[in-house]
Amino acid sequence: MVGVPAALHIGLVWIPAALTVGLSFAEWDNLAPLSDIRDVGFRNYWFIFTVFEGDLFGALFNNFVLIIWLTICSAVGMLFAYLLDKNIRGSRFYQSVYYFPVVLSLAVVGFIWKSTMFSRDRGLLNTLWPGGPIDFVGDGTKIFSFDLPFLDPALGLSKNFAALLVAMAWRHIGYIMVMYLAGLKAVDQALREAAAIDGCNEWQAFRRVIFPSLKPINVIVVVITAIEALRAYDIIAALNEPRGTDVMGTLVTKSLLGEGGGRVGFGSAYGVVMLLLCLGFIIWYVINHYRESEL
């Protein structure tokens, strides 16, 4: 009974992941037969960290910005949930409005935003943005950048990527809000009353009583936020990867699907970097979750 799904899951998820780790130490053109796979040790890693450092660190920087940004969005989502939990009249309505972008794919979100928010002539972001008209998702110039002594292209945040960040926030905030709303509903009323009797002001009650009692949700939100940021791909690929928006996800895919299919080793090495970053959060989540259930 358990055999079929377990085999499917292990065979199509875990084994491929393990094989990718193996391929990251190999050189291979993916059109060639399997017997052509050559072991090259850490050479792929050496290449991506030195020769192609601009690609790798540029992508890592964007992922890093995304983690920070989505963390801020998560906090905003929590604030929304907290406010909506205050016996708001029409709370269902507000909840539906904030939440609806979550049912859309990030690819669609990108497409919708491109149509009316990003465009150079009539996009709404351009009306709000200081300075001349900017072709968001067409303008690779940086909003800010800084030089690192060992890195050739300066790291920085491109206007393109900033525009995508706004669109991603639109979706992420509602997602996190719903998670916290469910958590807040489950907070024991007695706890709140006890806090009030002890003379806590609102901030203290939240900080010391309500927030700690939301721990299971906090764990999930941290993981969702981090994994979403590290796995980001759809919105960038759907808009055909505007300049300056490379993240690890697009870097891996590009190397694997690139012309001639000759960079399997590189792509896999990029993939392993991405996997390692995710793995920390995955392990932390699994430990947190199952420690308390019934080990």
Partner 1 sequence: MSDTAVVAPPAAKHKGPRVKPMRLLLYAFLTVMALAWLVPVGTAVYNSFRYWEADTQPNGAFSLPETLTLDNYRDAWNVGEMAKTFGNTAFIVIPALFFTLLLAAMVAYACTRYSWKFNIAFLVLFTAGNLMPQQVLFQPLFQFFKRMPWPDILSDTDTGSLLGTKIAVILIHVAFQVGFCTFVLSNYMKTIPKEIDEAAAVDGAGVWRRFFKIILPLTRPALAALGTLEFTWLYNDFFWGAVLLNRGDERPITSSIAVLNGQWASDFNLIAAASILIALPTLVVYLILQKQFISGLTLGASKG
Is 144 or 216 the residue whose CB approaches partner 1 more closely?
Answer: 216
Q: Which of 77, 101, 156, 244 binds partner 1 (CB under 8 A)?
A: 101
Q: Which of 6, 32, 143, 148 binds partner 1 (CB under 8 A)?
A: 6
Under rule CB under 8 A, residue 67 binds partner 1: no
d(CA 229, CA 172): 10
Under rule CB under 8 A, residue 294 binds partner 1: yes
Burial class of residue 270 (count of CB atoms within 10 Å of its CB; 0-12, 13-18, 19+): buried
Cα 13 to the chain's mean position, in Å? 20
Under rule CB under 8 A, residue 238 binds partner 1: yes
According to DSSP H, which parts of 106-158 are helical?
A: 106-113, 124-128
* DSSP strand pairing (142-146 vs 38-39): unpaired
Q: Which of 50, 105, 141, 145 binds partner 1 (CB under 8 A)?
A: 105
Question: Which residue type, as a one-letter code, is found at position 257?
Answer: L
Under rule CB under 8 A, residue 229 binds partner 1: no
Is 6 or 148 the residue whose CB approaches partner 1 more closely?
Answer: 6
Is 155 or 217 the residue whose CB approaches partner 1 more closely?
Answer: 217
- Extended beta strands in the chain, E state: 26-27, 38-39, 142-146, 155-158
Find the part of the chain contacting partner 1 (CB under 8 A) among 53-61, 64-72, 146-154, 272-280. Answer: 272-280
Q: Which of 230, 244, 246, 266 binds partner 1 (CB under 8 A)?
A: 230
Q: Position of tokens 């997602």?
A: 175
Q: Which of 40, 67, 72, 107 binds partner 1 (CB under 8 A)?
A: 107
Under rule CB under 8 A, residue 110 binds partner 1: yes
Is 58 or 267 the residue whose CB approaches partner 1 more closely?
Answer: 267
Under rule CB under 8 A, residue 252 binds partner 1: yes
Under rule CB under 8 A, residue 32 binds partner 1: no
Q: Read out DSSP for 159-224?
A: HHHHHHHHHHHHHHHHHHHHHHHHHHHTS-HHHHHHHHHTT--HHHHIIIIIHHHTHHHHHHHHHH
Q: Which residues pair with 145 in a beta bridge?
A: 156
Under rule CB under 8 A, residue 197 binds partner 1: yes
Q: Which of 64, 192, 243, 262 binds partner 1 (CB under 8 A)?
A: 192
Is 43 or 192 the residue whose CB approaches partner 1 more closely?
Answer: 192
d(CA 245, CA 107): 14
Q: Position of tokens 């958590």?
A: 183
Is 155 or 173 the residue whose CB approaches partner 1 more closely?
Answer: 173
Cα 98 to the chain's mean position, in Å? 19
Cβ–Cβ < 8 Å for 236, 247: yes
Q: Which of residues 147-186 bind partner 1 (CB under 8 A)?
A: 167, 170, 174, 178-179, 182-183, 186
